[in-house]
A and B are shown apart, each in its own frame.
Chain A
Amino acid sequence: QQQVKQSPQSLIVQKGGISIINCAYENTAFDYFPWYQQFPGKGPALLIAIRPDVSEKKEGRFTISFNKSAKQFSLHIMDSQPGDSATYFCAASMLGWDSNYQLIWGAGTKLIIKP
């Protein structure tokens, strides 16, 4: 119930195309769903996040779509650029037994944008 399942494991998209990464969860107690972006040799960095009371959030070319009933959320990258090539992690957060918020991480998706 604590897992976040992420797919695909890797993705190749042509420049200018739409990149879509999907995540699914089971625990309805999750109340925050961030996406992190990691470039080679760097640590992950927060890209965009959504709460379950909103179905969509857009920041520039990046959009999170959230389907509460299906317990799924996805990241869409519009007009994908070579600079978007990175590993993307979805995550889910909830208040833990210790009154601390913990992040439950997806396995990551390696995205390659071909010029």
Chain B
Amino acid sequence: DAGVIQSPRHEVTEMGQEVTLRCKPISGHNSLFWYRQTMMRGLELLIYFNNNVPIDDSGMPEDRFSAKMPNASFSTLKIQPSEPRDSAVYFCASSPDRLTYEQYFGPGTRLTVT
């Protein structure tokens, strides 16, 4: 079975540019999570969706960040404009439903903003 798929795996961009990270959750999973991981702040939950609907975006750091889930098999996290402090590894995770504890993580996207 395919796990959570993220693309790109690595992204290097210049400050001010728009960045779009993509995620395909495990088929049949109804909950999707976006996390950011840095050495300083550890693993931070940015936003999560249930049945394609954003439930809690209180972890999104600024208005420069936005996330969408147009259908059950695709989600994007967009940063516009990007800043050097956005450099981090961004993970997408999915879960079968809102009442299941286990989350299945993708391999992550390493973002570097210069």
| Residue from B56, B98, B107 in contact with A43 in the complex, judged by beta carbons closer than 8 Å | B107
Q: Is A89 positioned at the interface, with any CB of B under 8 Å from its CB?
A: yes
Tally of A interface residues using CB under 8 Å: 22
**Chain B residues, CB < 8 A from A32:** 101
A95 closest partner in B (C-beta): B99
| Residue from A34, A45, A89 in contact with B43 in the complex, judged by beta carbons closer than 8 Å | A89
Residues of B within 8 A of A (CB): 4, 31, 42-43, 45, 48, 50, 55-56, 91, 93, 98-108
A101 touches B42 (CB 8 A): no
B43 touches A105 (CB 8 A): yes
Asked if A101 meets B43 with Cβ closer than 8 Å, knowing A43-B105, A44-B105, the reply is: no
A100 touches B98 (CB 8 A): yes
Residues of A within 8 A of B (CB): 32, 34, 41-46, 49, 89, 93, 96, 98-103, 105-108
CA distance A36 to B108 in the complex (A): 15
CA distance A44 to B43 in the complex (A): 10
A45 touches B31 (CB 8 A): no
CA distance A45 to B107 in the complex (A): 10
A108 touches B100 (CB 8 A): no
Q: Most B CB atoms within 10 A — which of A41, A96, A98, A100?
A: A100
